[in-house]
């Protein structure tokens, strides 16, 4: 018993009464766009394994090979004893993949954002900070750690951003713009070309989170930022979604990466990623550039699903990617629909506040390369029957 148990239980009760309590449930990814969960095999429309690489034989074998060659652990934080040639070589490869001068590995996307953002803002005291209202919680965490006041622009409303840059940023010693290239809950895209133009016009540092674009979009799956090399100051992305493994990266100029090595506490005081993780990343980079067919298949499935939701009269917002929200509205309605779909053999998790705004609880449908049109049609039929 913890001394806080009574207080914690009261807090949990409040969470539960608001319909927002979450629980952990055992699951394992399976081939063919499926997942095994609590003794059942379901068609999986919730995982972020967009290209099906999490179970790819090459990632598994490369992870095993690097463990046998280099051991199970990395030994320490990289500034103590943990940097190996494998880390350095892989970072050089990531930089080539992203078309940047340099790159730096992190354990997770959350860690990368929460570590890089306060480090960057510490270099520019008094900077004006501009954020899309729907940026990821990890970016908000980094901004909170920095003590930054955010000027939030309406989601993907770059006219609003331009007004804010003019009104709020003109006299600041520096300006920072934070956005995602693909938004994780809405499945829509930022207009990176116009964002870069605004950053140029207002001498602003542009920080783009590509967690849900890496592997899926852009030339060779290198993300939307790769369509405009040299125009974005910092790109963050992950290897835990379409790339099938674990870990994250920050990519940018050599000076930027050197600065983060020296100032990002989440890098300095963290044990280096282990060899098994590095091996899986290396294998994914071997594969992803040649997966144009899988990327085209995902795009076609997204269009097919959105057309089906239109027929059912269900709002899918401005989705244009492999992430398609089916907006239900009330939290309890979204949870109930998700439960009925699971009983029918589909995993389509309900997302509710505080992850999404009140009144927009939804099924967040994540497509995988192992799905086919028949899976999507079956899901649509189940949604229609279970509503």
Catalytic positions = 48, 136, 180, 184, 209, 212, 241
**Distances in whole angstroms, Cα of residue 124 to Cα of each of 129, 171, 204, 327, 377:** 11, 13, 12, 40, 52
DSSP 36: E
Cα 136 from Cα 86, distance rounded (Å): 30
- Which residue matches tokens 């020296």? 262
Rg of the chain's alpha carbons, rounded to an integer? 21
Cα 230 from Cα 131, distance rounded (Å): 21
Q: Could you give phi then psi for residue 167, rounded to 5 degrees?
A: -80, -40
Select from 30, 53, 41, 120 the least CA-distant residue to 345: 41
CA angle 122, 118, 96 (to 5 degrees): 105
CA angle 159, 161, 167 (to 5 degrees): 105
Taking each helix axis as running N to C, give the angle between helix 254-263 and helix 109-122, from 0 to 180 degrees, rounded to the nearest 10.
Answer: 100
Select from 302, 301, 309, 341 the least CA-distant residue to 326: 309
Q: Could you give phi then psi for residue 3, rounded to 5 degrees?
A: -60, -20
**Neighbouring C-beta atoms of residue 331, cutoff 10 Å:** 20
Contact 311, 386 (CB under 8 A): no
Contact 105, 249 (CB under 8 A): yes
- Which residue matches tokens 């028949």? 374
Select from 307, 306, 357, 371 the least CA-distant residue to 46: 371
In a 13 Å sphere around the CA of 232, the CA atoms on its Cβ side amount to: 30
Cα 2 from Cα 17, distance rounded (Å): 23
């Amino acid at each position: 018993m913890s001394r806080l148990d009574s207080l914690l239980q009261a807090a949990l009760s409040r969470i539960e009464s608001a319909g927002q309590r979450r629980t952990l449930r055992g699951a394992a990814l399976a081939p063919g766009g499926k997942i095994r969960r609590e003794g059942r095999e379901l068609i999986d429309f919730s995982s972020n394994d967009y290209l099906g690489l999490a179970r790819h034989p090459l990632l598994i074998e490369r992870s095993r090979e690097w463990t046998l060659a280099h051991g199970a652990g990395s030994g320490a934080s990289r500034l103590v004893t943990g940097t190996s040639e494998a880390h350095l070589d892989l970072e050089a490869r990531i930089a080539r993949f992203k078309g940047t001068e340099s790159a730096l590995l992190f354990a997770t996307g959350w860690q990368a954002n929460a570590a890089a953002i306060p480090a960057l803002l510490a270099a520019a005291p008094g900077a004006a900070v501009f954020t899309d209202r729907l940026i990821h919680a990890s970016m908000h965490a980094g901004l909170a750690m920095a003590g930054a006041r955010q000027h939030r622009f309406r989601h993907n409303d770059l006219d609003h951003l331009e007004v804010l840059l003019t009104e709020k940023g003109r006299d600041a010693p520096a300006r920072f713009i934070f956005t995602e290239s693909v938004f994780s809950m809405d499945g829509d895209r930022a207009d990176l070309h116009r964002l870069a133009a605004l950053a140029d016009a207002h001498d602003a540092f542009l920080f783009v989170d590509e967690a849900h674009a890496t592997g899926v979009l852009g030339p060779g799956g290198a993300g939307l930022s790769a369509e405009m090399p040299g125009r974005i100051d910092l790109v963050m992305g992950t290897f835990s979604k379409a790339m099938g493994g674990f870990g994250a990266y920050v990519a940018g100029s050599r000076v930027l990466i050197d600065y983060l090595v020296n100032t990002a506490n989440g890098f300095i005081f963290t044990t280096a990623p282990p060899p098994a993780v590095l091996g899986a990343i290396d294998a994914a980079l071997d594969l992803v550039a040649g997966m144009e067919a899988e990327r085209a298949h995902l795009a076609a499935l997204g269009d097919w699903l959105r057309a089906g939701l239109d027929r059912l009269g269900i709002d899918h917002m401005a989705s244009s990617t492999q992430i398609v929200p089916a907006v239900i509205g009330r939290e309890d309605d979204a949870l109930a629909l998700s439960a009925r779909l699971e009983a029918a053999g589909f995993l389509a998790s309900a997302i509710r506040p505080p992850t999404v705004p009140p009144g927009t609880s939804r099924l967040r449908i994540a497509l995988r390369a192992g799905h086919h049109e028949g899976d999507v049609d079956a899901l649509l039929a189940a949604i229609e029957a279970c509503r």
